[in-house]
Structure 1
Amino acid sequence: MSGHGHDHRPSAQADRRWLLAALGVIVVFMAAEIVAGLLAHSLALLADAGHMLTDAAALALAVIASRIAERPARGAYTYGFARVDALSGQVNGITLLLLAVWFAFEGIRRLVHPSGVHGGVVAVVAVIGAAVNLVATYLAGRADRDGLNVRGVLAHLVTDVWAFAATFVAGLVIVWTGWRQADPVASLLVAALMAWTGWRLVHEAGRVFLEAAPPGVDPQALGAELAAADGVAELHDLHVWVLGSSEAALSAHVLVDLEYDCHEVAGRLRTMLGRDHGIGHVTLQVDHLDAATHVAEHCTDAHGTVHVAPAATD
């Protein structure tokens, strides 16, 4: 079997190298931003640093999840460790939501009781921060984007670019007008971005854990498409879900007209599901159906035995 289908896909080891490079860039700047935020008395800079802390955590979790997800299925873990990817995304999303609540509270408090903020320092650090995040986004973007953890990292980094833009504007407003409330206003905008990104990550991870259908797949429409295939008499017990954030699975009971080869029909359905819907993990129970008696007969096995069972009535 040829391996050409994998020639252009980054290896897991290469993914981790890119993610670790992005992590190094983020951690160095985050430390510098915390110091600058404390010296400038800027809540917006500290909010940005807090967001970058979640970026660093997301990158670290992505690296760890990538290593764990490589482990083969064994023992009690018959599906392997694909959902570690979603678990890291959910942890990261919850962290973002908690930080958003804290920065929103602090932002409102400073709107009422503004403190002295050095607008020039805020603006300069914000420009550097935007540049650093663009570099980190480029590095992380070189990794495979199919996983929820990597998509979460990229969402964080892009959000940070916008957050730094808001912080930069706040710094300029303070320098030009002396309006100190611009800093907590910027921090509230950052908190809103955190909440939005965090909610999306938690929601996507929740779909994985609740075994929802893959995004863009309508189970009813898919069932109708399968039932309309040549040779399919009836379709029952259709389930379609995600094993991990990028791997879909499907199971169904398919009843095939007697004049068709049930193994050929099953193979055709699997090909269609993989080609048209990206569903590669397919489990089909395929039986023949006698339309006259409405009795289901299991497909003949390798020894020629035929088993008869009542047809499904759901």
Structure 2
Amino acid sequence: MGHSHSHHGQHGHHHHHIDPEAGDRQVAFAVAINLLLTVAQIVGGVISGSIALIADAVHNLSDAISLLIAFFARKIARRPADAQMTFGYGRAEMVAALVNYTTLIVISLYLAWEGVQRLIDPPAIQGWTVVIVAGIALVIDLATALLTLKLSKDSANIRAAFVHNLSDALGSLGVIIGGVLVILYDWRLIDPIITLLIAGYILWLAATEIGPVIRNLMLASPPDHSAEDLLNHIQGEEGVAAAHHLHLWQMTEHEAALQVHVVVSDPDWSSAMVIRDRVRAMLTDKGISHVTLEIETASEACPNAPAIGH
């Protein structure tokens, strides 16, 4: 975006209170502890012959991978616009979030499937090993969650990795509760029931969070702006005869862009420019950071153009 814009309105507090480099370090650290745990669990699983340990290692590996995807997306997103990507690379984060939520939905469906199978045919008791393993995993999952908690508030990308991690933490918690109850009371059905509850919850989380991500990638209008509303405001400005071909979309998660054809009632060039500046100022004021206006006089305006879109 070569030129800087002044940010007004609701976008004034431009979510940059977290230094991006510090954020990167937190995510990198989260990746590291998950990878270390994965390796430790695989080694432990092979030595002790515990399938549970190896299964849990796979969980932590999936966490590490989703965090890695988020980490690289963050890096890419900060690259400046170039001839290839004239809008900049900001959407890399949305693509990463889409990938992470999609895999999460697949994982939760698989979990649900497993839960149903174990309801039909409850497995034998696994013993204390599994509970202890899950306890260690829970500690790591919570540490990872804490590392990414603050970042996840502002970024859909990190939020996707965070939800991945949360799902793992819930999984470990479920194993602990289910395992203890099975060991103490031989209540075998509790494990699949907990599994199904967790799977349902993760599925609901991922499905609700993936919506805004898809909307953003589909160039939907930003949630805090209405295209009709802005169109009315533009047409209500003094000197504006009509407006059409309005496009409103999100450049990045926190920046909205708008382009529109404005028909001015006064064909005189200098007064047309005054009208243009007035419209631009009004839009910038409303928190639209990228405004592109095409000025037309009533005589040469596009005939029967749709007000919104082409």
Structure 1 length as normaliser, TM-score? 0.77
Query: Are 1:69 and 2:81 counterparts?
Result: no
Residues 243 and 97 from structure 1, CA distance in 2 versus in 1: closer, same or farther, beyond 3 angstroms? same
**Partner Cα distance (2:49, 2:151) in 1:** 36
Aligned residue identity for 1:216 = D
Query: Are 1:100 and 2:111 counterparts?
Result: no
Do the aligned partners of 2:97 and 2:156 also contact (CA within 8 Å) in 1? yes
Quick one: which of 47, 53, 60 aligns to 2:68?
60
Structure possessing the higher relative contact order (Cα contacts under 8 Å, 6 or more residues apart): 2
Offset of residue 152 of structure 1:
1.3
Segment drifting more, 126-135 vs 69-78? 126-135
Aligned residue identity for 2:18 = P
Q: Which runs of 5+ in 2 are unaligned?
A: 7-12, 306-310
How many residue pairs are counted as aligned between the two chains?
Answer: 292
Q: Could you report, residue by residue, the CA deviation over 1:238-288 in whole angstroms, capped at 9, with x for unpaired residues?
A: 111123344322111122343994434434443443443x32122111345
| % identity of equivalent residues | 30
**Partner Cα distance (1:7, 1:115) in 2:** 49
Offset of residue 129 of structure 1:
3.5
**Partner Cα distance (2:218, 2:178) in 1:** 41
**Partner Cα distance (2:241, 2:80) in 1:** 37
Aligned to 2:222, what secondary structure does the other structure show?
A: coil
Residues 166 and 146 from structure 1, CA distance in 2 versus in 1: closer, same or farther, beyond 3 angstroms? same
Instruction: Look up the match of 2:276.
Output: 266
Query: Are 1:239 and 2:236 counterparts?
Result: no
Instruction: Look up the match of 2:25.
Output: 17
Aligned residue identity for 1:165 = L
Quick one: which of 23, 34, 54 aligns to 1:26?
34
Residues 178 and 110 from structure 1, CA distance in 2 versus in 1: closer, same or farther, beyond 3 angstroms? same
Quick one: which of 265, 281, 289 aligns to 1:280?
289
Q: Which runs of 5+ in 1 are unaligned?
A: 289-294, 297-308
**Partner Cα distance (2:15, 2:51) in 1:** 51
Query: Are 1:157 and 2:165 counterparts?
Result: yes
Quick one: which of 200, 206, 210 aligns to 1:198?
206
Quick one: which of 160, 173, 180 aligns to 1:172?
180
Aligned residue identity for 1:286 = I
Instruction: Look up the match of 2:257.
Output: 249
Q: Could you report, residue by residue, the CA deviation over 1:172-226 in whole angstroms, capped at 9, with x for unpaired residues?
A: 3213311122222222223223323333454333212211111233222232233
Do the aligned partners of 1:127 and 1:168 also contact (CA within 8 Å) in 2? yes
Query: Are 1:225 and 2:233 counterparts?
Result: yes
Residues 238 and 30 from structure 1, CA distance in 2 versus in 1: closer, same or farther, beyond 3 angstroms? same
Task: Indicate the RMSD between aligned Cα atoms, in angstroms.
Answer: 3.4
Residues 119 and 227 from structure 1, CA distance in 2 versus in 1: closer, same or farther, beyond 3 angstroms? farther
Segment drifting more, 89-98 vs 122-131? 122-131
Do the aligned partners of 2:249 and 2:258 also contact (CA within 8 Å) in 1? yes
Aligned to 2:264, what secondary structure does the other structure show?
A: strand
Aligned to 1:208, what secondary structure does the other structure show?
A: helix
**Partner Cα distance (1:268, 1:135) in 2:** 51
Aligned residue identity for 2:232 = A
**Partner Cα distance (1:137, 1:161) in 2:** 9
